[in-house]
Amino acid sequence: MLQAIEDEIVISPDGKLPEVFRPMFGHKARVIVLLTEQDQSEQLMAFAGTLDWPISDPLKWQRQQRSD
C-alpha cells in the first residue's frame, strides 16, 4: 500500500528534505518532483545561447531534409 505525502515546498540549496518527509526517512520511496512553470522557465533560460547548433536556417534545413 502506498502512502503519499504532498506539500508545496522550496528545496533548499543544500538539498536537505524538510521535516514533513521525516517519517519516510530510511524507507524505500518513489519520488516525483513537479516544478512550477516559473521555475522551469528560469532553468531553461540558464541554457539560452549555450547550444552549439550547426544549422543557421532551420526552415531551409527542414525543407532540404524533406526534398532528399
Q: Which domain holds residue 38?
A: 19-67
Q: How many domains would you assign to the chain? A: 1
Identify whether 45 is part of a domain: yes
**Would you say 5 and 25 are in contact if contact means Cβ atoms under 8 Å apart?**
no
Q: What is the pLDDT along the chain (68 residues), one digit of tens a residue?
A: 777 778 787 777 787 887 878 888 888 888 787 777 765 666 666 777 776 777 888 899 899 989 87
Provide the CA 53 distance to its chain's centre, in angstroms.
22
Is residue 5 included in any domain, yes or no? no
**Which segments of the chain does DSSP mark as H helices, in order?**
37-45, 58-67
Residue 54: inside a domain:
yes
Residue 61 is assigned to a structural domain of this protein? yes
- Nearest to 21, CA basis, from 32, 9, 5, 10: 5
Q: Is residue 12 part of a domain?
A: no
14 occurs within a structural domain: no
Does 48 reside within a domain? yes
